[in-house]
Amino acid sequence: MILHDFLPSGNGYKIRLLCACLGLKVTLKQYDITKGETHTESFLAMNPNGKIPVLQLDDGQCLSESNAIILYLAEQYKSALLPTDAILRAKVYKWLFWEQYSHEPNIASPRFWLTHNAMTDLKKQMLPDRIQQGHAALKQMEETLAKQTFLVGDSITLADICLFPYTHVAEEGGAYQLTEHPNIQRWIKDIEALDWFIPITQD
């Protein structure tokens, strides 16, 4: 399998982290998203949305949307990260969709704007509202992690694989302070201590 990716991307890192957990080898093909490398004709043929990550299977088929890819891989490899219990699965799904709507745009996007020289006047004006919503998102994670070890109970699931990448680098860019969220900090350390853990910039 080939993972079409950009190393600093938390969306790509979800897949790299899951592959590390599952012991799967993928070939990494890197694109610089700041230089439009995902808007070429050949890239758009793999993903008309023009975004990494794309997982290219051995038969050439291409899957897109990071959370769709981790669901696919967890099902394919029958990983316990995707529980068989229907309610627990629904809770995993909840966090995955919540991440895309309520977490990523408020935590990952400001990090990208602030660390990749991508700030514009409009984004500057949008920033306070995004940061307010990002604080609300971190508060929901903090309150959950104050009651249990991981996001869907006391075992790690895809929800943690999905939320770890952008949360653990939330401070980059300066919009967030994780010291305000001791249980998120504890959870980050717990994940970093797992024997299959790999850092964001390692392929």
Which residues of the shown chain bind a copy of itself in the complex (CB under 8 A)? 48-49, 61, 63-69, 71-72, 75-76, 86-87, 89-91, 93-94, 96-98, 100-102, 104-105, 122, 125-126, 129, 140, 143
- Shortest distance, position 175 Cβ to a copy of itself, whole Å: 17
Backbone angles phi, psi at 106, to 5 degrees: -95, -20
Which CB sits closer to a copy of itself, 14 or 168? 14
At residue 4, the 3 state secondary structure works out as: strand
Phi-psi group of 54: left, alpha or beta (phi > 0 → left; psi -120 to 50 → alpha; rest → beta): beta
- Shortest distance, position 105 Cβ to a copy of itself, whole Å: 7
CA 61/CA 122 separation, integer angstroms: 38
Which amino acid does the sequence have at 163?
Answer: L
Provide the pairing of β-strand 2-5 with 27-30: parallel
Backbone angles phi, psi at 5, to 5 degrees: -155, 175
Which CB sits closer to a copy of itself, 80 or 90? 90
Strand partners, 30: 5
Which CB sits closer to a copy of itself, 67 or 167? 67
- Shortest distance, position 118 Cβ to a copy of itself, whole Å: 13
- Shortest distance, position 125 Cβ to a copy of itself, whole Å: 6
CA 4/CA 203 separation, integer angstroms: 11
Which CB sits closer to a copy of itself, 47 or 149? 47
Counting DSSP H helices and E strands in the chain, the numbers are: 8, 4
Q: What would the two tokens of residue 165 be?
A: 């990448």
- Shortest distance, position 140 Cβ to a copy of itself, whole Å: 5
- Shortest distance, position 68 Cβ to a copy of itself, whole Å: 4
Which CB sits closer to a copy of itself, 83 or 173? 83
CA 52/CA 141 separation, integer angstroms: 26
Which CB sits closer to a copy of itself, 122 or 193? 122
